[in-house]
Each structure stands twice: as structure tokens, then as C-alpha cells.
Amino acid sequence: MTLDRFYPIFDDVSWLERMLQLGVKLVQLRLKDRTEDAVCDQVGRAQALCRAHGATLVVNDHWQAAIAARCDWVHLGQEDLDTADLDAIRAAGLRLGVSTHDEAELARALALSPHYVALGPVYPTILKKMKWHEQGLDRVTQWKRRIGPIPLVAIGGMRVDRAAGVFQAGADIVSAVTDITLNADPELRVREWLEATR
């Protein structure tokens, strides 16, 4: 299954209602600080929307909700790997994406035979406080060499004008968050991203 090269991440299903109609084909729903019921509602609605638009939904962290909604993908951060039931995830047929920031995390991710590996932050990011400084394009190249045919997702400080360089460095997919959600015209920015990545 080939994943689209543009991978926006949103924190509410309302974003998907706006963006899927523009042609987004790969999207992550990253829900934080929600009740279990709210998570299940959001994931279920997001999955229905993605199916209607022929898009792939990746659920961040909430693997139980992803299984319940019969999603195809789940994304786990390193902390999530500590608590997730990986056997249940595999048994449900969910494909797995994993965040990595350093060599030890990459080794841990590869041991799980993930369906993609994410590396970040490639550039400085305002999204969340991290102990890792920017990884840079050389690290993107290094990671791609290490993981071979597994798709590499570059994330962190991504902007449209950086996409070409990140692809050139070896990334298969570029993921954007605040470049869209904090933009004065998110729809226009998504159209620009689609143009830059296709």
C-alpha cells in the first residue's frame, strides 16, 4: 500500500471535514486530553469521513479506539510503545507507524517491523517541547539509508518551501501540523502542500 507524500496531522475531526474535500489522502488524528467517549466518537467520525473521501486515516496513540472503529493504521510514539498491546494491534491487522528521535529509538522501532518510521523534529518546532534539537537533513538521509524500503516520514518545522529539500534528502513523506493549523488561510496552505508534494 503506497502512502501519499503529504501527511497533515490534526487535533480534531472538524479539520478533516474541511481538508479531505481538498484532496488530502493521508491524515493523522492526534487527540489529546479527551475522554474515552470523545475519542471513540472522533475516531469513528474520522474513519467514516476518510472512507467517504478515499483517504487513509492514521490514529495517534488511541489504538483501542482505532481497533473499535476498524481503522487501518495507528501511530505510536516511544512512550505509547511502553503501554500499547502490540499483539492486539497486530491481531486486528492494524498497520503501525512509529516516532523516532535517536539511534536507540530507531532500533526499537525497527524491531517491531513498522509500516513507516517517522523522524523528527527535522527543523525547530513550536508544537511541543522536546529534548531533541533539530535533526537536520543529513539525519534524514542517514535514517533512510538505515531503514531501506520502509517509508520515512519527516516531521517537525515543516513548511511548503522546505518540502523539496526534505524529499531530496531521502524522506518519502512530509508531515505538517502548525504550518497548516496556525496559518491565516489553512485551506490555501493545504492546496500549496498538495501542489508541492505531487
Indicate the pLDDT class of residue 2, thresholds 50, 70 and 90: confident
Mean per-residue pLDDT of the chain:
95
The pTM (predicted TM-score) of the whole model is 0.96
* 50-60: pLDDT as tens digits: 999 999 999 99
pLDDT computed for residue 1 by the predictor: 67
CA 121/CA 36 separation, integer angstroms:
29
Task: Classify 6 as helix, strand or coil.
Answer: strand
- DSSP code, position 117: E
How far is the C-alpha of 53 from the C-alpha of 24, rounded, in Å?
A: 9
Query: Has 128 been annotated as catalytic?
Result: yes
Q: Can 14 be counted among the known catalytic residues?
A: no
For residue range 112-152, list pLDDT tens digits in order: 999 999 999 999 876 655 566 789 999 999 999 999 999 99
What are 148-185's pLDDT values in tens digits? Answer: 999 999 999 999 999 999 999 999 999 999 999 999 99
Active site residue 146: no
All 3 cell numbers of residue 150? Answer: 520502509
Which residues does residue 29 pair with via DSSP β-bridges, in sequence order?
Answer: 10, 59
Contact by Cβ (8 Å): 23, 2:
no
Q: Which of 25, 30, 45, 51 is catalytic?
A: 30
Mean pLDDT of 10-27: 98
Give the pLDDT of residue 132. 61
d(CA 155, CA 182): 16
Of the chain, the percentage scoring pLDDT greater than 70 comes to: 96
Q: Do 156 and 123 touch, CB atoms closer than 8 A?
A: yes
Can you list the alpha helix ranges (DSSP code H) found in 92-185? 103-111, 136-147, 163-169, 178-181
pLDDT at residue 129, as a whole number: 59
Q: Mind listing the domains of the chain with CATH numbers? A: 6-197 (3.20.20.70)
Question: Catalytic pick from 14, 25, 51, 128?
Answer: 128
Averaged pLDDT for residues 55-75: 98
Question: Is the link from the previous residue into 8 a cis peptide, with omega within 30 of 0?
Answer: no
